[in-house]
A and B are shown apart, each in its own frame.
Chain A
């Protein structure tokens, strides 16, 4: 079958390359022009904050230096006996502290950026997983796993999906009439093939409705429906 599929698909798609050499060169050129890594939203958000923080720290530092300079000038006569190199040591310490803080903030920004990127990947992965689970749930409308095989053994040329379609096209199976001009119909999304014998089905007419538990038989490849039990909205005896 592999060979058949390949030959047939190649016949449709053609033997010529889809992704041409020219396009390859163009893509490589684009890659070369995009050497720097894409800056994330986090980067754009944190950079101004970091810039502002650095600016404020530098301003505070300059202001304190200026103030200390003033104090020093006015206190010269009293402080003339103090060691001359004390003031530069204090300023050097402040500068180191500021550099340390800025560097720590930068590290934190990089860390947050990486975390953000990981979380986004995780989110993307979960979104696809969720989507696939939903798809699977729609796909797996049979509760008993061997239903399709059993249907085949019983001589039915279809799957549980076809059983659903058959029931949707048989509104006459519903034993109650619609009210206020509505017509009772099965809800295709509310039909569950429980096994090769039983089906649970929801019906309504737009105003009221209910559920049916049905038994079905395959006779000469066709389905015959029998009602086992029914619940109609407002049926107090079954609530």
Chain B
């Protein structure tokens, strides 16, 4: 298989490389759906296993990166729809363990952290269909064309969702208003 202009015959080597290149960005994408690091990690493992099982069916119509993103999005949507997730899963609401910086007073640290997290929390609270386009476009730096390809929707739909998502963000964060226009 041709990957990054090099022909890789052995699938194991290919997957080792794919994992190095995309595992972290896929895990971060998965996190924005499930809001839990452990769950995101398991999802990415599943994604690579599924990709490996179906690599022979991959027709190369799109980039392998787009394909992996598509599998991740579908897997995350399934996870959100799953009975187990909806009934039993309790999110940690996006809080990670704090790292100690001795130069900051606890008050200043709290204010800075809250301020920085404000936009991210607003994004994570958006409905999934708006959240995913914002994450893919602004956080994962994917183009409208790529997002449209991996979500099986038209480019205009992606643009509409982005517009509406930004509007919703502006409702929560007024300073954000100028970004909408």
**Residue ranges of A at the interface with B (Cβ–Cβ < 8 Å):** 1-2, 4-9, 11-14, 16-20, 23-24, 26-28, 30-32, 34, 37-38, 117-118, 121, 125, 128-129, 132, 135-136, 139-140, 159
User: Is there an interface contact between B53 and A20, defined as CB atoms closer than 8 Å?
Assistant: no
Checking B30, B113, B164 against A159 with a beta-carbon cut-off of 8 angstroms, the contacting residue is B164
Closest beta carbon of chain B to A163's beta carbon, Å? 14
The answer to whether A18 touches B37 (Cβ under 8 A) is: yes
Contact A18 B31 (CB under 8 A): yes
Number of interface residues of B (CB under 8 A): 54
Instruction: List B residues 128-153 near A (Cβ within 8 Å).
Output: 129, 134-135, 138-139, 141, 151-153
Q: Which B residues are closer than 8 A to A by beta carbons? A: 11-12, 15-16, 19-20, 23-24, 26-28, 30-32, 37, 40-41, 44-45, 48-49, 52-53, 56-57, 74, 94-97, 113, 116-121, 123-124, 129, 134-135, 138-139, 141, 151-153, 157, 160-161, 164, 167, 179
Q: Which residues of A are found within 8 Å of B56, using beta-carbon distances?
A: 37
Q: From the candidates B20, B27, B120, name the one contacting A8 in the complex (CB within 8 A).
A: B120
Contact: A12 with B27, CB < 8 Å?
Answer: no
B45 in complex: contacting residue of A4, A14, A23, A37, CB < 8 Å: A23
21 chain-A/chain-B pairs, Cβ below 8 angstroms: A5-B119, A5-B139, A6-B138, A8-B117, A8-B118, A12-B94, A13-B94, A14-B97, A16-B96, A18-B31, A18-B37, A19-B24, A19-B45, A24-B20, A28-B15, A30-B49, A34-B49, A34-B52, A129-B152, A132-B152, A139-B161
Q: How far is the CA of A128 from the CA of B150 in the complex (A)?
A: 11
